Amino acid sequence: MAATQVTGTPGEETAAQAAQTEGGTAPAEVDSAQEGHDRPLEAGEAVEEPQSFPVTVIVRRYDPEVDDEPRWVDYDVQMFATERILDALHRIKWEQDPSLAFRRSCAHGVCGSDAMRINGKNRLACKALVKDFDTSKPIYVEAIKGLPLEKDLIVNMEPFFDSFREIQPFLQASSKPEKERHQTIAQRERFDDTTKCILCAACTTSCPVFWTDGQYFGPAAIVNAHRFIFDSRDEASQVRLDILNDREGVWRCRTTFNCTDACPRGIQVTKAIAEVKQAMMTGVKL
Amino acid sequence: MSETSSSLTLPDPTPRKTTFSGTLYRGNEGMWSWVLHRITGVAIYFFLLVHVLDTALIRVSPEAYNAVMATYKNPVMGLGEVVLVGAVVLHAMNGLRIILVDAWPWATKHQRLLFWIVMGLVAALMLYFTPTHLINVFSPIEGGH
Ligand code: SF4
Ligand code: FES
């Protein structure tokens, strides 16, 4: 039926056709993206494809059933610059040596399970990028120091969590609010920094005082005490200050700032500890 | 390796064993200032211990005291005194820094700068003290102590 119809239905002429037939008021042809589409394409600048390169990772292994002492074992892995040390550990575990033991869960810096000492500094393996290391040299990975070593990169975190529990990390208030407990922006801001802690233990196990004195509460416990001590809604600040005024409390801190450097959340740990010290001397200033 | 291999028979990794026990923690200025503070503190403590003992000797026997004092009057001791004064100055200056870092928020924030200020002050004081002291030590005139 419509197979032979070549022209459009009347009244559907294009603007150009109309211009031709009526004597030329059609818009000048514009340079469009399509223009010259039939010309040969020029090759764009070559985009370099990311290349993987070999990286030597030396892991401090320890199997309590076999080894008396931890031992360093070398692995060669192919890595891309944008990958993380955690990917290197995965590659080792999945492709080379399934017996390698380490903790990780979220792989995105949220859960705090993969703190380890990478080239002599405590870092989250899932946040340590290969490109930030000098890959012409081996990368050393070992368990965090000061907590009992269980296997390879896994330590017993219980002593760490015990200290955390001891400072009563929960809101304590006697009254019951009608709806909610109000707080001004400034009051919330006061302890904002210390709410970011993910309990990874990178700070506590970077502290030279903690290495030699496992009884020391450690930066992480003090950070989490700080979070409630300076919370205007909380009523047990004094209780926590008394706990931390102990021999093994905040006064053990010698301000080495290793914890501030190690914290993957960028918490100003030593500053928080100093604020708790000051609160002990001059009272809590909210 | 064209055949499929079970994951249970993965090729043995070829571990090259490296023998050393652990890496040194790579701390920054704060950690090194703490290390220096410890070392100078312990050194000064032992000096004071010996110093109290040799001074106490005068109550036991003045001759023995004089004999001990005579052994102190040699150039090696003179150099030792430079080290001692250096340790005391560093410990004192860094001690002030630590008090500030603990008590004053500005100092907590700028502890690195303060560390280098402390090092600068110690260097300046020692540059002033060492030449004058060594001239005293090595000049032949008998100086009273
Ligand atoms: S303060 Fe930082 S380093 Fe310490 S446990 Fe919390 S998140 Fe980890
Ligand atoms: S795996 Fe969760 S923080 Fe790294």
What does the alpha-carbon distance between residue A165 and residue A167 come to, in Å, rounded to a whole number? 6
pLDDT digits (tens, 9 = 90+) for A60-92: 999 999 999 999 999 999 999 999 999 999 999
Pick from A230, A257, A260, A269 the residue to mutate for testing the B interface (most B CBs within 10 Å): A257
Confidence of residue A133 (pLDDT cuts 50, 70, 90): very high
H helical segments located in B1-145: 29-60, 62-72, 75-103, 105-109, 111-138
| pLDDT given for residue B122 in this prediction | 95
Phi, psi of A142 (to 5 degrees): -145, 170
Is the CB of residue B81 less than 8 Å away from at least one CB of chain A? no
Ligand 1 centroid–CA A238 distance in Å is 23
Atom of ligand 1 nearest to the CA of A201: 5
Cα–Cα distance measured from residue A29 to residue A40, given in angstroms and rounded to the nearest whole number: 21
Indicate which atom in ligand 2 lies nearest the CA of residue A198. 3
- What are A172-206's pLDDT values in tens digits? 999 888 899 999 999 999 999 999 999 999 999 99
Q: Using CB atoms, pick whichever of A74, A98, A140 lies closest to residue B10.
A: A98
- Per-residue pLDDT of B86-120, as tens digits, reads 999 999 999 999 999 999 999 999 999 999 999 99
Closest alpha carbon to A252 in A284, A282, A222? A222
At residue B7, does pLDDT exceed 50? no
Name which residue sits closest to atom 2 of ligand 1, judged by CA.
A263
Mean pLDDT of the residues in chain A: 89
The residue ranking higher by pLDDT, B110 or A285, is: B110
Task: List domains and CATH numbers for chain B.
Answer: 27-144 (1.20.1300.10)
Length of chain A equals 286
* Mean predicted lDDT score pLDDT of chain B: 83
pLDDT higher than threshold 80 for residue B44: yes
- Which atom belonging to ligand 2 lies closest to the Cα atom of A107? 1
ipTM of this complex prediction, to 2 decimal places: 0.76
Share of chain B above pLDDT 90, in %: 51
| DSSP track, A54-101 | EEEEEEEE--TTT-SS-EEEEEEEEE-TT-BHHHHHHHIIIII-TT--
Q: Which of A203, A258, A260, A271 gets mutated to test ligand 1 (max ligand atoms within 8 A of its CB)?
A: A203
pLDDT (tens digit per residue) in A208-225: 999 999 999 999 999 999
Q: What is the DSSP letter of A123?
A: E
CB interface of A with B, residues 207-236, below 8 Å: 208
Which residue out of B31, B40, B116 would a mutagenesis test of the A interface target, given it has the greatest number of A Cβ atoms within 10 Å?
B31
pLDDT tens digits, A78-131:
999 999 999 999 999 999 999 999 999 999 999 999 999 999 999 999 999 999
Q: CB-hemisphere CA count at 13 Å for A86?
A: 17
Nearest to A117 by CA among A85, A162, A71: A85
Q: Which domains, from first to last, does chain A contain?
A: 53-155 (3.10.20.30), 158-171+184-282 (1.10.1060.10)
pLDDT > 70: what percent of chain A?
Answer: 87
A60 and B CB contact within 8 Å: yes
As for ligand 2, residues whose beta carbon falls within 6 Å of it are: A 104-107, 109-114, 124, 126
- Residue partners of A78: CB distance under 8 A and separation at least 6: A52, A53, A54, A55, A91
Tens of pLDDT, residue by residue over B10-20, are 444 454 555 55
Rounded to 5 degrees, what are φ and ψ at A78?
A: -85, 125
Residue to substitute in A110, A197, A205 for testing ligand 1 pocket (most ligand atoms within 8 angstroms of CB): A197
By C-alpha distance, which of B60, B56, B23 is closest to A59? B23
Q: Give me ligand 1 centre to Cα A18, in Å.
A: 74
